[in-house]
Structures are given as structure tokens and as C-alpha cells.
Amino acid sequence: MWIEETAIDFVRAIGLQEVKDGWRADLPGTVVNDRGDRQVVRVACQGHPEVAYLKRWRFGPQSPYRFLPGAKALRNRGRSEFQNLGFLLDLGFVVPRPLAFAEERGMWGPVASILLLENLAGYESCLQWGREHPEGHVLVATGVAEIMARLHNRDIYHRSPSLKHFYLPTGPDAGQFALIDVPRLDRSGSGMLEKARSWLGGETPCAERDLSKVLLSLRDELSAGDDIAEAFWTAYLNARDSVAEPRVLRERTSGLVEKRHEARRKRQKRKRQRD
């Protein structure tokens, strides 16, 4: 089990020594996100001022993937996020610092993992803050745009960015925006790889993919208008090292926004019909 040097006392205090300890019933914490095979637990321990978040994942005892190959993305989710966070920290991004990591391995790879992360003190979710402060939508849009530009400058793509993945600083010494939840970061692949993804119905890593998802999140989740979208684009293009054809990028992105909006509308309609 890997433990960050400054977190040793805290990790010992909460009784975290191996993967199975992350699922103890007496773990001093509260589940704040439950998606069945993976959960997030807010962890606090009496006598320690720290608050941390434990991301835990495992195949259930009846899952065939405990004994069979497959589900590669889910298997490697914990290690992938652990590595991505370290990579982004080295590049100067503000992300939660890993405090501890461990995984349980089976015949075909990991079958469970735990990742303990520091709490981003002095930061608030852009989604929640934006809903409470409509006058601050430009601030949210420009801060998120600058993070996306910094990622794209290094040929890094988030895959599924939305406002819930970005945090803004609210303390007296406010700095740059923060990014969370990065188990999957992409880089643009070779031409053949991108063609293969397209043939299989997948989206290739590119700026348009990321930007359309963020702009849709701004529009649908904050009801942001054209002025906010324009502020986003201005901040993004100003922070990019270079963009060959900004007008083409904007047109392609706008087309994807409308396509995603329509697909979401249809999903919601089907859900209402089922209910």
C-alpha cells in the first residue's frame, strides 16, 4: 500500500492498511456518492483536523470479472486516477493530492482498489456555486475555459468534463481553479486509432469533444446564455498556445452541443415515458 509521507498518521488513525479496510463497516466516514460498484466516502477521524475523501471500487462477490478477463476500464480506474493526479500535479494543475492508494489483484488484473484524496479546502463546486451565484457565471465560465485550454495545450483531453468536475477558489488567497475526478484522460492517438474508434461508434479525443460537453453543462445546468458562452470562448482562445482555425473549431463545437442537447432531451423523454 502506498501512503504519502505526511498522511501516515491520519491513514493509521482511520485503520487503513489494505484494500479490504476501505470497506469496513466501522470506517469513520459517510458515503457521499454511491454508484454500486464504486463509492466515495467522506472520511474524518476524531483527534485529527484533516478531512479526506476515499474513492473505493470493487467487483462484487458474484461478478464474473473477479475470475474472468474484461472490464479493463473499470479494473484500472483506481490506478489510472492515482497516476493521472500525480501527472497533473507535476504539470502545475490544482487537483486533490493522493494520500494513499492500494489495489487487490486477481488473475486478470485488479478486482478492487482504494484511493484516499485530500480535501480541497477553500474550494467550492462550480456547479453548486454557480447555481447560488448567477452573477458569477462569467467567473465560472472563464475559469473552466482556462483549465480546458491548459489541458489542450498539452494534448490532454478529459473525456467527460462537466461543471461538477471543476472547483473555484473561494478563500482570501484565491488562486487558479481546480479539477477533480480524472480517472480517464485521453491523448489524441494515431490516425488509424482514431479511425478505429470512429468505426466502433466512439468519439476521438479532440478539443471539440471536450468543449461541447462543458458548454452544454453551462447551458443546461446553469441556464447560461450566449454572453456566458462568448466569455468562455474568449478565455479559452486567449489561453491556448495556438488554434489553427478558431472559427472552424467554434462551428464544429456548436454542432456537437446541439447534437448532445437533442440526445439528452430524447433520453429524458424516454425516461418520463417509462416512469
Do 129 and 245 belong to one domain? yes
pTM of the prediction? Answer: 0.88
CATH, residue 261: 1.10.510.10
Q: Are 141 and 268 members of one domain?
A: yes
Domain boundary among 118, 147, 178: 118
Whether residues 101 and 237 share a domain: the answer is: no
Residues 265 and 140 in one domain: yes
Instruction: Indicate the burial class of 139 (C-beta count within 10 angstroms; 0-12, 13-18, 19 or more).
Output: middle
Q: Are residues 56 and 137 in the same domain?
A: no
Domain end marker among 98, 118, 138? 118
Domain that holds residue 82: 2-118
Residues 6 or more apart from 159 whose CB is under 8 A from it? 184, 185, 186, 205, 209, 210
Closest CA to 164 of 131, 135, 209: 131
CA distances from 129 to 79, 96, 120, 162, 222 (A): 30, 19, 15, 14, 10
Asked if 117 contacts 55 with a C-beta cutoff of 8 angstroms, the reply is yes
Same domain, yes or no: 83 and 136: no
- 188: which 3 cell numbers? 489524441
| Dist. CA 228–CA 235, nearest whole Å | 11
pLDDT tens string, the chain, 275 residues long: the values are: 999 999 999 999 999 999 999 999 899 999 999 988 889 999 998 888 889 999 999 988 778 887 777 777 788 899 999 999 999 999 999 999 999 999 999 888 889 999 999 999 899 999 999 999 999 999 999 999 999 999 999 999 998 899 999 999 987 666 899 999 999 899 876 555 555 555 555 688 999 999 999 999 999 999 999 999 999 999 999 999 999 999 999 999 999 999 998 988 888 888 888 87
Q: Which of 118, 148, 171 is the last residue of a domain?
A: 118
For residue 3, what are the β-bridge partners? 100
CA of residue 260 relative to chain centroid, distance: 19
